[in-house]
Chain A
Amino acid sequence: MKFSVFQVSRKGGREVNEDRMGYCYTRSAGIFFLTDGMGGHPQGEVAAQLALQVMAALFQKEAKPALSDVALFLTSAVTAAHRQIVRYAIERNMLDAPRTTVVAAVIQDGMVTWIHCGDSRLYLVRQGELLTRTRDHSFAEHRQLGAGKLNLPERNNRHLLFTCLGSPSRPMYEVSGPVALQQGDRLLLCSDGLWTGLSDIDITYHLSHKPVNQAVPDLVESALCRAGGSSDNVTALALEWETPDNFLATRTSISTDTMSDAVFASTVQGGWSHPMQDELDDAAIDRSIAEINAAIRRSAARQA
């Protein structure tokens, strides 16, 4: 398995970054996920982080090194994440549970299968064209689709979701795929902070014309610019599928072929820490410099 991957999360104009992202892989399977903790309920960032950790842990447990049933794994991982969030709320006697969206994709045997719940999206771009993307579980998107299948109230908030993890009702989710990947296919996972500001055409264009390590920062930057000072958290993770070849792997690509079976790699870590990508502002830069100079003085004093 060979791919290059790049992820960025920015806080935008919000107090807290409630988006989380990450990926894990073994020799034969990779999982990429993104969660967006919901406002209007307490501790969205906790729900987002919990979901990520639960899914990563389950992946580590079951991908040995391949998953026996990818679709089944995805549904059980999402269900487990939901239960864990609800349990977290119960243990703390919270009146309202934290909530999060989720989108997760598994690549195995050259095929991609994904699951989503809420309005975090997956885009699959092939040869400059949008092959498919997820449909949000929002009233707006389903009305647009003219979905007669759902009996929805007429007037409601465009962004209102009708399902997510952590809510009292069982989450609804959709599993899509598997789709056989071709060399150069691009996969993007993003939070609504990214797609509200950009059209599908913009997203497709950026993804298909640049390597992911440029496309992702560019996309995130333009979404932030469009939204201005009141921007939501903007998070994106993209990967480019590469066919293993005889050339030496470049530094940006990950090749799992040389990994031994027992190896498991992950970007997901425990704790509630905010993503490191929260940008350094001027005050933080000055603080860092002051800290370093204080440390220099301490070392010099010790020496004297």
Chain B
Amino acid sequence: MAKVKPAPLPPDTMIGGYRVLRKVAAGGFGVVYLAVDSTGQQVAIKEYLPASLTTRVPGALAPEVPPEKLSLYRLGLKSFFEEGRSLAQISHPSVVSVMNFFRENETVYMVMNYLEGASLQDFIVTARDLKQAKVFRESTIRSLFDEILRGLRIVHQHKMLHLDIKPANIFITDDNKSVLIDFGAAREVLSKEGNFIRPMYTPGFAAPEMYRRDAAMGPWTDIYAIGACIYACMQGYPPNEAPQRLEKDRITIALRRLKGVYSDNLIEVVEWCMSLDPLSRPQSVFLLQKELSREGERRYTKLTAVEKVRLQFDTMVTDNKKNGQKATAVSGRAK
């Protein structure tokens, strides 16, 4: 029962005064186009077009929604607005900015600044394939996340959480700026409505509380994801999923393997961010920033011979597992 995906708008279609150049991405929520405005400036336009609820024949403008799916379609629209609302309040170089929002073709569109570059995910995969001890240099990791944390701090100041931070949602522009993108899961946490919708999550980067319905999510939930992203930058693959960690936690062992390669301080920061207990993590981005930007001599602890042998043995045992995880590094977000 392969459902045909709704067709994207063809190049040169005019929407809201913008001219579509081409489709650049498609996700569960819709399609992102590269377009130009009347002055020739490039923009990214996200079209609300949930693939599971709509159909559109090639060449048509308005998507069709079967009557029985209309209520879910409208419900999804609320999340789309939620993303727009979140982004509209924030103006920061490290957070993707929304420039306009309009209704046309019986759906809605969000206009954002167009970023040229690649995601951190792409960089990790490329770097990992070089098969060196370090995936990224420590100074690179520190400055990259310093920028991201500046943006995230503003997000949290607006009483919002990103809730889907992962390397695929950290964009590195061609002029070397890192930008937090895709606020599709973001919601204002302090204004609870009558019913909840669980945010989508990505295994490996989602904190344990994202898997529970009752759990209090807060800045510490995004901070877990930041820790997991730093981990991915060091290891080249994502950490184990939180539920798996609750059963048997291998993170400490995995990080011990990096001793001597990365400084003790960076390894400790990752462990701190990724504490299973939300209260044991840095409770604010500010605290984490302070720790991450700490200047001074970095201490590297070399492993003893016995530890090295033990780790090598562990590696042999867990090698298959690791390969399995690499596969998940490129898979998308779970729904």
Interface residues, chain A, with chain B CB atoms under 8 Å away:
7-8, 10, 22, 25, 217-218, 220-222, 225, 251, 254, 258-259, 263-267, 269, 271, 273-277, 279-280, 285-286, 288-289, 291-293, 295-296, 298-300, 302-303
Contacts and interface: CB of A to CB of B under 8 A. Distances in A.
Contact of A292 (B88, B193, B194, B334): B88
Contacts of B123: none
B67 A221 contact: yes
Contacts of A275: 194-195
A38 to B, nearest CB: 20
A276 B195 contact: yes
Interface string B56-71: 0000000000011111
A30 B201 CA distance: 24
Quick one: which of A218, A221, A289, A296 has the most chain B CB within 10 A?
A296
B73 to A, nearest CB: 10
A277 B71 contact: yes
7 contacts: A225-B67, A254-B213, A279-B74, A280-B77, A293-B88, A299-B88, A299-B89
Given A271-B194, A286-B103, 5 more contacts: A279-B70, A279-B71, A289-B101, A289-B103, A299-B90
A292 B335 contact: no
B88 A280 contact: no
B194 A266 contact: no
B91 A269 contact: no
Given A221-B70, A258-B243, A285-B103, A277 B75 contact: yes
A280 B78 contact: yes
A265 B195 CA distance: 12
Contact of A300 (B74, B91, B194): B91
Contact of A296 (B68, B70, B75, B101): B101
Nearest to B83: A292
Given A221-B71, A302-B91, A292 B85 contact: yes
Interface of B: 67-72, 74-75, 77-78, 81, 84-85, 88-91, 97-103, 108, 192-196, 211-214, 243, 246, 334-335
B216 to A, nearest CB: 12
A57 to B, nearest CB: 14
B108 A289 contact: yes
A33 to B, nearest CB: 14
A276 B176 CA distance: 41
A34 to B, nearest CB: 13
Nearest to A222: B68
Contacts of A218: 68
Nearest to A281: B74
Nearest to B192: A269
B68 A267 contact: no
Given A277-B75, A285-B108, A264 B214 contact: yes
Quick one: which of B77, B211, B213 has the most chain A CB within 10 A?
B213
B212 A265 contact: yes
Quick one: which of B67, B77, B91 has the most chain A CB within 10 A?
B91
Contacts of B243: 258
Contacts of B194: 269, 271, 273-276
Nearest to B335: A251
B334 A263 contact: no
Given A221-B68, A276-B78, A276-B193, A293 B101 contact: yes
A295 B88 contact: yes
